[in-house]
Amino acid sequence: MSQNTQQLMLFCTAIVLFVTACLYGQQSVSVLSSALSSTMNTTENMEGRMSTTLNISKPLRYSGAEVLHTVRQMTGTPVEVHVDGNTYAIDPLINKSATIPVSVSASYRPEFIRSESGELLKIAFWKEASIN
């Protein structure tokens, strides 16, 4: 084979390898992007802090036990917890027997108040009237 033919074959091989590497890189970026989007959606659904859709099948309701747990869990954080208009902060390490007037069997509607940047400032629980 002549020198020119050999160089042409090497040049064509280099071009094919370069185009293949570019296409593989583009595919890898799209796969990573979709994986990141999936992870973000899963994380948002687990934490309940952000909602990316307006599709709500039923209104969110908390039982009284969940309200009590939330009040105890939020103690020591800058997030205020209001139950029926009253602010409560119970530190389970200081006073284990402290409670708040919550009916364990009742249903409460949560209201999440956020700042303009999306930071959670306050959680308010409102007792719903029972239909009996």
pLDDT band at residue 117 using 50, 70 and 90 as cut-offs: confident
Q: What is the pLDDT of residue 54?
A: 47
Delimit the domains of the chain by residue range.
Answer: 1-49, 62-127
Is residue 129 scored above 60 in pLDDT? yes
For 11-27, the DSSP string reads HHHHHHHHHHHHHHHHH
User: Are the CB atoms for 123 and 113 separated by under 8 Å?
Assistant: yes
pTM value?
Answer: 0.48
